[in-house]
Amino acid sequence: MDIEPVRALVTGCAGFIGSHLAESLLGDGIEVVGVDSFNDNYSREQKLANLRDVESWDGFSFTELDLAHDDVESLVADSDVVFHLAAEPGVRPSWGLRFDSYVQNNVIATQRLLEAATRHAPRRFVYASSSSIYGQAERFPTPESALPRPHSPYGVTKLDGENLCRLYHANFGVPTVSLRFFSVYGPRQRPDMAFNIFCRAAVEGTPIEVFGDGLQTRDFTFVADVVRASRAAAARGVDGRVYNVGGGSQVSLAQTIELIGELAGRRLEVAHLPNERGDVKDTGADTRKARAELGFEASTGLSEGLLAEFEWMARSARPVAA
Beta strands 242-245; 176-181: pairing state: parallel
Distance CA 109, CA 115 (A): 10
pLDDT along the chain (322 residues), means of 10: 81 98 97 96 94 94 97 96 97 94 98 98 97 95 97 98 98 98 97 96 94 95 98 97 94 96 95 93 97 97 97 82 46
For the chain, domains (ranges, CATH) are 7-182+223-246+284-298 (3.40.50.720)
Q: What is the pLDDT, as a whole number, of residue 5?
A: 75
pLDDT the model gives residue 319: 61
Predicted local distance difference test score (pLDDT) of residue 3: 66
At residue 316, the pLDDT reads 84
Which residues are the active-site residues?
154
Show contacts of 236-239: CB within 8 Å, 24+ apart: 236/1, 236/2, 236/3, 236/293, 236/294, 236/295, 237/124, 237/126, 237/177, 237/293, 237/294, 238/177, 238/293, 239/124, 239/169, 239/175, 239/176, 239/177
Q: What is the model's pLDDT at position 1?
A: 52
One DSSP character per residue, 72-128 reads -HHHHHT-SEEEE------SGGGSGGGHHHHIIIIIIHHHHHHHHHHHH--SEEEEE
The 10 Å Cβ neighbour count of residue 12 is: 27
pLDDT score, position 318: 66
pLDDT at 226: 98
Per-residue pLDDT at 317 = 73
Residues 195 and 170: their CA atoms lie apart, in Å, by: 39
Burial 129-167 (b: 16+ CB within 10 A, else e): bbbbbbbebeeebbebebebebbbbbbbbbbbbbebbbe
